[in-house]
């Protein structure tokens, strides 16, 4: 009886939370994201990709992938850029983590030129991928920006989203802790 | 039985805390969230230009959000001028245009250009709206009263009283060198503007 009440309570809470906030992305949605392989050889090597055309998230050579959906026109993305760069530096400075966690950005509604302007302005060290016509953004459920997604890739190349959030980047250190915790790397 | 009830309670509390935390994070993450008025898809262009490339740009004086008055001709002989008319504050595409220009002041500098942002909104509205974009390096001008007089002079005032989404480049001699009255529903690609500025800069 109690279990039944608690179950209903949980369903109610979950439904209420998801109905007022943007829902996290679902695995099935992420599967449809096909991204162009970066032309820059260093970025291509960073992600461990081969080929010259497109890739899926699970093809990135990593155990965890951090995705930021951003726009060069978004003031909040601009404000967060130095903190996101710090997250990258923290990962790259750790010899163990740098092989396990990779980062990419997807520029919603941004052309290649616009993404490059943003990259240069904020000295973004990880690959930024243009999504000029909002194609990827649409597949992702048109989230507002910045939107952060953490994907865990398993050895058999299956994967799951272990965390997603709209804005509110808490800083490099706490977010890295969160990544390690939700992905089981810690 | 008691143990399972306790475990269930703890589990429920954990779930509750998670969702409460998540909801708070969403609510505080972005200032535009509840403040953008959705206008839907509009007629792409709803005015007839009264100027053309090669014309002398009609002069105007408008109040800026900062309190000063800006006159177009004050830049003559000193700077190329980019005018960015946008339709209205607190609307989707407009809110997603000037923040991009705000991070490319170096490109404007390299091309010896200044940017003037203009809407037909009044100063307090523009003040509140542009505050959400961070500190803007360029003047934001109000063409509110007499309503849309400058937009009308250029032929970019729509029939419902808002401006078109238009970009104009005026050279140091005060001559119009580029006009893009863009589909109001779309943001003009940044590269088009930058290419035109660079082209102008290369010309003798």
Flag whether residue A134 sits within 8 Å of chain B, measured between CB atoms: no
pLDDT in tens, A60-110: 999 999 999 999 999 999 999 999 999 999 999 999 999 999 999 999 999
Number of domains in chain B: 2
Domain assignment present for residue A12? The answer is no
| pLDDT band (50, 70, 90) for residue B30 | low
Is B84 found in the same domain as B185?
yes
Give domain status of residue B84, yes or no: yes
Q: Nearest CA to A81 among A68, A91, A90, A92?
A: A68
Q: Choose between A5 and A157: higher pLDDT.
A: A157
What whole-number distance in Å separates Cα of residue B74 and Cα of residue B182? 27
CATH number of the domain within which A84 lies:
3.40.30.10
**pLDDT tens profile B132-162:** 898 999 999 999 999 999 999 999 999 999 9
B98 and B18 within one domain: no
Do B98 and B162 lie in one domain? The reply is: yes
Catalytic residue IDs of B = 94
- Please list the alpha-helical segments (H only) found in B75-148: 92-95, 98-101, 105-110, 123-131
Say if the Cβ atoms of A75 and B15 lie within 8 Å: no
* Assigned domain for B53 exists: no
Lowest model confidence (mean pLDDT) among A34-43, A106-115, A160-169, B33-42: B33-42
Residue A51 falls within a domain, yes or no? yes
pLDDT tens digit sequence for B151-198: 999 999 999 999 999 999 999 999 999 999 999 999 999 999 999 999
CB < 8 Å to A10, chain B: 12, 15
Pair B6, B73 in one domain = no
pLDDT tens, residue by residue, A116-135? 999 999 999 999 999 999 99
pLDDT range class, residue B32, cuts 50, 70, 90: low
**Does the pLDDT value for residue B27 go beyond 70?**
no
Range of the domain at A118: 24-183
Do B26 and B73 share a structural domain? no
- Name the pTM for this structure: 0.82
pLDDT band at A28 (very low <50, low <70, confident <90, very high): low
Residue A156 placed within a domain: yes
Nearest to B170 by CA among B190, B154, B146: B154
Domain with B5 in it? 1-30
Distance CA A95, CA A31 (A): 30
Tell me, yes or no, if A161 comes closer than 8 A to chain B by beta carbon. no
Of A1-5, B50-54, B113-117, B153-157, the least confident: A1-5
- Complex-level ipTM beyond the 0.90 threshold: no
pLDDT on residue B159: 97
Beta-carbon separation of A17 and B19 below 8 A: yes
Residue B3 domain flag: yes
In a domain, B90, yes or no: yes
Q: How does DSSP classify residue B29?
A: S
Is B97 in Cβ contact with A114 (below 8 Å)? no
Nearest CA in chain A to B134: A75
Closest residue in B to A24 (Cα) is B22
Q: Report yes or no on A10 lying in a domain.
A: no
Q: Do residues B18 and B72 share a domain?
A: no
* Residue A76 included in any domain: yes
- pLDDT at residue B197, rounded to an integer: 97
Residues 28-67 of A with CB under 8 A from B: none
Q: Residue A2 domain-assigned?
A: no
Q: Is residue B42 domain-resident?
A: no
**Are B29 and A121 a contacting pair at CB < 8 A?**
no
Q: Do residues B162 and B111 share a domain?
A: yes
CA distance A17 to chain B (A): 6
A16 CB neighbours in chain B (<8 A) are: 19
The whole-number pLDDT of residue A4 equals 42
Chain A residues with CB under 8 Å of B134 CB are: 75, 78-79
Rounded Cα–Cα distance for residues A56 and A36 (Å): 9
Between strands A159-166 and A147-153, the pairing is antiparallel
- Domain count within chain A: 1
Cβ of B190 within 8 Å of Cβ of A20? The answer is no
Kindly state whether residues B65 and B120 are assigned to the same domain. yes
CA A113 to chain B, closest CA, distance in angstroms equals 6
Give the minimum alpha-carbon distance from B175 to chain A in angstroms, rounded to a whole number: 28
A22 touches chain B (CB under 8 A): yes
Structural domain includes residue A3 = no
Interchain contact, B12 vs A6, CB within 8 Å = yes
pLDDT of residue B38: 83
B103–A121: do the CB atoms touch at under 8 Å?
A: yes
Q: What angle do the packed helices B2-27 and A2-20 form, to 10 degrees?
A: 10
Q: What is the pLDDT of residue B36?
A: 81
Separation of CA A9 from chain center:
31
| Whether the bond into B146 is cis, omega within 30 of 0 | yes
Of B96, B132, B191, the CB nearest to A73: B96
User: Which residue, among B36, B94, B100, would best test binding to A if mutated, counting the most A CBs under 10 Å from its CB?
Assistant: B100
Summarised one tens digit per residue, pLDDT across range B81-134 is 999 999 999 887 768 899 999 999 999 999 999 999 999 999 999 999 999 898
pLDDT at residue B155, as a whole number: 98
């Amino acid at each position: 009886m109690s279990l039944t009440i608690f179950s209903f309570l949980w369903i109610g809470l979950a439904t209420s939370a998801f109905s007022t906030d943007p829902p996290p992305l679902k695995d099935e949605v992420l599967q449809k994201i096909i991204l162009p392989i970066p032309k820059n050889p260093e970025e291509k090597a960073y992600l461990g990709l081969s080929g010259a055309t497109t890739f899926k998230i699970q093809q990135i050579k990593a155990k965890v992938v951090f995705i930021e959906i951003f726009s060069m026109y978004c003031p909040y993305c601009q404000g967060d850029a130095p903190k996101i760069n710090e997250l990258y530096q923290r990962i790259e400075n750790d010899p163990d983590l740098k092989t396990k966690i990779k980062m990419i950005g997807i520029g919603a509604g941004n052309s290649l030129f616009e993404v490059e302007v943003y990259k240069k302005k904020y000295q973004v060290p990880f690959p930024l991928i243009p999504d000029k016509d909002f194609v990827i953004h649409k597949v992702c459920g048109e989230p507002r920006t910045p939107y952060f997604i953490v994907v865990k890739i398993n050895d058999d190349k299956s994967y799951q989203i272990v965390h997603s959030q709209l804005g509110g980047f808490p800083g490099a250190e706490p977010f890295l802790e969160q990544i390690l915790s939700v992905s089981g790397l810690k | 039985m008691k143990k399972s009830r306790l475990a269930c309670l703890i589990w429920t509390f954990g779930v509750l805390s998670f969702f409460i935390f998540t909801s708070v994070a969403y609510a505080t993450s972005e200032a535009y969230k509840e403040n953008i008025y959705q206008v839907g898809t509009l007629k792409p262009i709803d005015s007839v230009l009264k100027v053309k490339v090669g014309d002398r740009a009609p002069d105007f004086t408008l109040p800026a959000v900062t309190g000063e008055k800006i006159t177009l001709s004050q830049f003559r002989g000193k700077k190329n001028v980019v005018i960015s008319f946008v339709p209205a504050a607190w609307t989707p595409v407009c809110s997603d245009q000037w923040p991009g220009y705000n991070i490319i002041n170096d490109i404007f500098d390299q091309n010896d250009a200044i940017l003037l942002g203009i809407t037909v909104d009044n100063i307090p509205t523009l003040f509140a709206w542009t505050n959400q974009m961070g500190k803007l390096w360029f003047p934001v001008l109000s063409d509110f009263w007499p309503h849309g007089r400058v937009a009308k002079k250029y032929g970019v005032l729509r029939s419902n009283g808002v401006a078109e989404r238009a970009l104009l480049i005026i050279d140091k001699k005060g001559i119009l060198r580029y006009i893009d009255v863009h589909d109001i529903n779309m943001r003009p690609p940044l590269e088009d503007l930058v290419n035109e500025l660079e082209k102008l800069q290369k010309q003798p």
